[in-house]
Amino acid sequence: MSYKAVHDAWKADPEGFWLREAARIDWSVPPTRALDDSRAPLYAWYPGAEANTCWNAVDRHVEAGHGERIAIIHDSPVTDSVSRITYAELRDRVARLAGALAARGIGRGDRVIIYMPMVPEALEAMLACARLGAVHSVVFGGFAAHELAVRIDDFTPKAILSASCGIEPGRVVPYGPLLEDAISQARHAPEFCVILERPQAQVALTPGRDIAWADFVAGAAPAPCVPVAATDPLYVLYTSGTTGQPKGVVRPSGGHMVALHWSMENIYGMRPGDVFWAASDVGWVVGHSYICYGPLLMGCTTVVFEGKPVGTPDAATFWRVIRDHGVRAFFTAPTAFRAIKREDPKGEMIAGYDTSCLQALFLAGERADPDTIEWAAKVLGVPVIDHWWQTETGWAIAANPMGIEALPVKLGSPTVAMPGYDIRILDEGGHEVPRGTLGAVAVKLPLPPGTLSTLWNAEERFVKSYLSHFPGYYETGDAGYVDEEGYIYIMARTDDVINVAGHRLSTGAMEEVLAAHPDVAECAVIGIADALKGQLPMGFVCLNRGCNREHSEVIRECIAMVRDQIGPVAAFKLTVVVERLPKTRSGKILRATMVRIANGEAFRTPATIDDPAVLDEIRSNLSEIGYPAR
Ligand code: COA
Ligand code: AMP
């Protein structure tokens, strides 16, 4: 079948299409209909159906006789170790962990936060929650205690599963103090914490609250899979919005299984037993969908990689992992390849590594620049597939469906809409624009299975953020266009979200932190272009009248505050003190103009500007710190 035939089949009968796909999943109560639109614009997939995600990701493969197949390969250059877990072992480990959680009162609908590094136990924790019908929320290890505290208060977990440390190149990151700090900042207190003790760092367990992982699971009775409604949340994953309060994306369990299964087969071209590697982190949506759930639902082997593209130990790490484990499809962010290219511009370090097992490289998380795509294709000698999606959607909105047919690649385009996504480009008034014209990228409702159903504790915010601006559509927050052949081009965000090394960050959240500095009267944070990370945050602060402290001192404090409150992942290292911020006469900060000045791009002085002289001041402040960078 061609892509066109598959897409047309979905378009002609979406209900039939998604019901047929649902048959690939084991249900305890099979769906009799696909879509419930009775509460439109809020939709639910597979109403009345029941299943368990852990069963489908783990147990059913063992039941089908594949217990000896490798489920997880943990490759950890930062601890110099490689280990493998079969499906049968994974089932037993997850069932025991679930049993221990159940014995402590965790059951269907209870909430559990997982704050863990890239170890197999992180996936086991997710699967154990799924097994019980408990809802998990994984928090990325690079976030600071404050971000964890915000999530604890919003998600109100009964338990937190964590580890004694994460490992970054050259440094151990102890989680104990972070967890302690977060719990003391939060209003909500978890009933108990389970801590995986790693040899690289000890942790002082708080008596009565903390239990060592090994003791927790020792002797626990295995727990069976609990069937849950397809509409029950499997997990909540917080992502950056325009304010400091992150958005808790709610992922219903049933549609998630169907969509991920479809994507593994049709987008990534995977078959059971194939080795799939997503070099991301379980704390991001890529980690949820394509380190944990997708590959396991498909019966593949997933690689859990604890390392970086460079420096662990060198720029050939990716090639080694692909060769050593027979990786068939590899997924990462373009920034990772830019990092390798910077260290090994000619790609010479791949010599000696036989990567012929690899069929394709998939890139997402940020715009894939043509240079990076071409370099990767030349070095690896496989198709390089850009695909576009978001935490909210959980799987690709646009992709090149390699499992159906490899469509011709157009550099700069993540190719075409996947079934389920009716993509439209709209102008400010919500009218469709002609082909080739830039506009807001929207998806006609309903979104397909696997996408978010709402925001945790914030249905109004869900409607306001995504469904109100263009009634009848989901607003992606991206701007782009569609060409004559239906290829989609994603150009920029339409909001204050920036993308730093494939990580989605909110400039609004950073502004909230800077504004709390006692000497800062006003501030703005923008995303400037960066050759490695795509974008980098840059802060502009105006100091209170009468503040005569050294600017360098205030700047140091501002940088430390963002690292302290949001985390090292924000990569916030650039700040300038300015006299005034450029504004419109109505007081709106001209962020887009500031971005252009910092990037050294041509710009037109906005007609609505209050005082054009401020732009010259900004330009001179920036040149003092070497921007625009040459
Ligand atoms: N725990 C603690 N700290 C973390 C962390 C974690 N899980 N992940 C990142 N950090 C820290 C880093 O150590 C770094 O700290 P530093 O300021 O002290 O150096 C900071 O956060 C920024 O990290 P990162 O964005 O990873 O930058 P880097 O300079 O260390 O590495 C790349 C640059 C391009 C190699 C790296 O960003 C990368 O591999 N990106 C891949 C992108 C990716 O996986 N995206 C996910 C979506 S697909
Ligand atoms: P996240 O929710 O962290 O996955 O970030 C989603 C955002 O990253 C999208 O809304 C886009 O702005 C950007 N993004 C992700 N993938 C791509 C891509 N292939 N091309 C362009 N932008 C992308």
| pLDDT 10s digits, 18-38 | 999 999 999 999 999 999 999
Q: Is 175 in the pocket of ligand 1 (CB under 6 A)?
A: no
Return averaged pLDDT per consecutive 10 residues of the chain, 630 residues in all. 97 98 98 98 98 99 98 98 98 98 98 98 99 98 96 98 96 97 98 98 96 97 98 97 90 98 98 98 98 99 98 98 98 97 97 97 95 97 98 98 97 97 97 97 98 98 98 98 98 93 94 96 96 97 95 97 96 96 94 95 93 95 89
Residue 514: inside a domain, yes or no?
yes
Ligand 1 close to Cβ of residue 571 (< 6 A): yes
Of the residues 226, 247, 272, the one at which a domain ends: 226
Please tell me if the CB atom of residue 307 comes closer than 6 angstroms to any atom of ligand 1: no
In a domain, 196, yes or no: yes
CB 264 within 8 A of CB 295: yes
184 CA from centroid of ligand 1 (Å): 26
Residues 197 and 400: their CA atoms lie apart, in Å, by 42
Question: What single-letter DSSP state applies at residue 181?
Answer: H
Bridge partners, 361 (sequence order):
330, 384
pLDDT confidence of residue 630: 67
Q: Is 482 in the pocket of ligand 1 (CB under 6 A)?
A: no
d(CA 363, CA 275): 17
**Which among 199, 226, 253 is the end of a domain?**
226
| β-sheet bridge partners, residue 480 | 439, 490
Cβ pair 334, 325 in contact under 8 A: no
With 0-12 / 13-18 / 19 or more C-beta atoms within 10 angstroms meaning exposed / middle / buried, residue 508 is middle
Does a structural domain hold residue 209? yes
Contact 137, 114 (CB under 8 A): yes
Cα–Cα dist 353/323, whole Å: 6
User: Does the beta carbon of 286 lie inside 6 Å of ligand 1?
Assistant: yes
The verdict on residue 140 lying in a domain is yes
Q: Which long-range contacts (CB under 8 A, 24 or more apart) does 23-31 make?
A: 24/258, 24/261, 24/262, 25/51, 25/56, 25/254, 25/257, 25/258, 25/261, 25/297, 26/51, 26/55, 26/56, 26/60, 27/51, 28/52, 28/227, 29/227, 31/230, 31/254
Residues with CB under 6 A from ligand 2: 239, 285, 364-368, 386-391, 414, 476-478, 490, 493, 499, 504
The first and second tokens of residue 386, run together, are: 């850009």
Q: Which of 194, 226, 258 is the last residue of a domain?
A: 226
Range of 220's domain?
88-226
In a domain, 183, yes or no: yes
- In-domain check, residue 266: no
DSSP 314-374: -TTHHHHHHHHHT-SEEEE-HHHHHHHHHHSTT-GGGTT---TT--EEEE-SS---HHHHH
In a domain, residue 572? The reply is: yes
Residue among 148, 172, 168 nearest 160 (CA): 148
595 Cα: distance to centroid of ligand 2 (angstroms): 19
The CA-based angle 206-207-208, given to 5 degrees, is 115
Domain count along the chain:
2
**Nearby residues of 624 by Cβ (< 8 Å), 6 or more positions away:** 576
Confirm or reject: Cβ of 563 under 6 Å from ligand 1. no
Q: Count the alpha carbons within 13 Å of 357 in the hemisphere toward its beta carbon.
A: 20
350 neighbors 321 (Cβ within 8 angstroms): no
Tokens for 236?
Answer: 């909540």
Q: What are phi and psi of 103, to 5 degrees?
A: -65, -25
Q: What is the CATH number of the domain that holds 165?
A: 3.40.50.980
Asked whether residue 438 is assigned to any structural domain, the reply reads no
Atom of ligand 2 nearest to the CA of 285: 4
From 267, 372, 373, 390, give the residue whose CB has the most ligand 2 atoms within 8 Å, as the site to mutate: 390
Summarised one tens digit per residue, pLDDT across range 75-126 is: 999 999 999 999 999 999 999 999 999 999 999 999 999 999 999 999 999 9
User: Residue 559 CA: which ligand is closest?
Assistant: 1
First-last CA distance in the chain: 49
Global confidence as pTM:
0.97
Closest ligand to residue 279's CA = 1
Site to probe by mutation for ligand 1, drawn from 276, 284, 308 as the one with most ligand atoms within 8 Å of Cβ, is 308
- Give the CATH number for residue 588: 3.30.300.30
**Helix, strand, or coil (residue 182):** helix
- 370-380 and 334-343 are packed helices; what angle lies between their axes, rounded to 10 degrees? 70
Residue 389 Cα, ligand 2 centroid: separation in angstroms?
6
Quote the CA–CA distance of 251 and 537 in Å, as a whole number. 29
Cβ–ligand 1 distance for 568 under 6 Å, the answer yes
Q: Give yes or no for a contact between 127 and 58, defined as CB atoms under 8 angstroms apart.
A: yes
